[in-house]
Amino acid sequence: MMLTWKDVIHFSVNGNPKPDRRVEKTEQEWKEILTSEQFRVTRKKGTEAPHSGALCTVHDAGKYECICCGTSLFDSTIKFESGTGWPSFTQPIKENAIKYHKDTSYGMIRVEVMCNTCDAHLGHVFPDGPEPSGLRYCINSESMQLEKEETHG
């Protein structure tokens, strides 16, 4: 199933799909397993500077996982160059991998995306991505790790 902007808005207003599992830790437990920058971005809803993230220009095959809990979020096959300065994707790996929240900070209305397993802040989703979904998931590098696919050869 391909998600559309209509689906994103529906989830942000009416509730998100149930995750496969939940991971919950105290603030102190998160601080013990994350770098200070990962903690600032994922647990305090921070944003890394554009074009500064380690995953911006990476195009290796694999799965992008939540840095906090290891949940698969995005597949490398749907990553694209948006020119925004953050890794961008057109779809989550599964409908219930991402949690959506209406964000009215900074005088704007946006849709925040979080890991549906552990509530880590990932970034935002916008309706200006490429076809066929039209979605652009704009994600902080600090919130993900790339689990590269094994190459046989």
Active site residues: 138
State the Cα–Cα distance between residues 84 and 113, nearest whole angstrom.
Answer: 17
